[in-house]
Amino acid sequence: MQLRYGFRMYPNGPQRAELARAFGCARVVYNDALRAREAAREQRLPFPKTGDLSKQLITDAKNTPQRAWLGEVSAVVLQQSLRDLDTAYRNFFDGLKGKRPRMGAPRYKSRKDTRQAVRFTANARWKITPGGKLSLPKIGDVRVKWSRTLPSTPSTVTVIKDSAGRYFASFVVETGPEEVLPQAAHEVGIDLGLGHFAVLSDGTKINSPRCLRRAEKQLKKAQRALSRKEKGSKNRDKARHRVARGHARVADARREFHHQLSTKLIRENQAVAVEDLAVKGLARTRLAKSVHDAGWSAFVAMLEYKAARYGRTFVRIGRFEPTSQVCSVCGVQDGPKPLHVRVWTCGACGAVLDRDINAAVNVAKAAGLAVSARGAQVRPGSSIPAQRSEAGTHPKLPTSFARWEQAGTSGL
């Protein structure tokens, strides 16, 4: 399977200028190609092919005074921009045919977009120098912070500038079956939520890091400062970068939490089962901010690809499975219950069940995993933890998964 490995880049002043030129040229070619295809559609002409657009908008355009500056960047970057447009159209048409979720038609790119990217394939003859720098055509040798070793020779590299002004090199690497982990003895079902990010069928509860909530005060302060700056001024641009850096820190902390938790679950369990949640529907409720802060979709996607990579079994059960209504001991469906009911007693067998653990056990059973319902039972009369409020912030943001895990298991 193909994986992406991202590393932070630190280009100097001239290299940043060359990268800005490459971003701009790729954007112009993309917009020219989109304009040509939209004009053909309005005139009911045949759809222009990529080869014809490449000759017209790149090869021939370099010989004109209006587009002569396209020759200052690598031709591979411009060709890949046309490939990106092809992919955008393909995804749009596949959505109309029902082959994938619907998405909008391709749109023009703006020079004011805060995120820019260009891609170099093997034809561009980029390389990693013996000194550990990334040599890019017509840009130079850029310093890279290598956090780990690439498992194989990468096929392409994408240079990305994000909204916070940071540069990244994203490598596409092919991995083989040699990374399959040895057999594990455990299987687990996972119930995702807001009070606890994840509750496992063995009774483990993992608290949500609530990255956005904990950084909310600082983000609000930075956003208020941004709103007071004059549009188009240098100070407004600096304030926008401060806001973007704050959101980037939150996204990085959330992604790190997802990676460490998903890796831990895949290493310790032979099979993992989760419920297919209606995230889009939940994001339209009053819990929208907390739903987006949890990032369930990204976490489940990590579980899925890591299970395929390391030879584990991943099962996604239907969202309409009544996991919170069925007793995991006797299997009797006891009907829906309000969200404030966290512990309930089965009317058929009398078992006292923790709502979240019971749901996790039912998720595992619905997926066909061999788990015990013993973890779903609690002692009668045990204290029910208070539900976390949607409002409020915390002054500090945890920086390591170990502290989150410790916080989530300290109350068990």
187 noted as active-site residue: no
Q: What is the 3-state secondary structure (H, E, C) of 214-258?
A: HCHHHHHHHHHHHHCCCCCCHHHHHHHHHHHHHHHHHHHHHHHHH
18, 84, 293, 356: the active-site residue:
356
Q: Which two tokens stand for residue 191?
A: 């119930």
| Tokens of residue 126, six digits | 């980029």
Asked about 86 being catalytic, the answer comes back as no
Q: Find the helix or strand (DSSP H, E) in which 260 lies.
A: helix 234-268
Q: How far is CA 210 from the centre of its chain?
A: 16
Residue among 191, 202, 216, 405 flagged as catalytic: 191
> Is 334 tagged catalytic?
no
Residue 243 to residue 230: CA distance in whole angstroms:
16
Catalytic hit among 187, 216, 275, 354: 275
Q: Which residue has the tokens 């938790």?
A: 261
User: Where in 125-278 does DSSP place strands (E)?
Assistant: 127-128, 134-136, 140-145, 156-161, 167-174, 187-192, 196-200, 205-207, 271-275
d(CA 327, CA 258): 30
The closest of 106, 120, 89, 107 to 22, measured between CA atoms, is 120
Tokens 């579980």 locate to: 303
Active site residues: 191, 275, 356
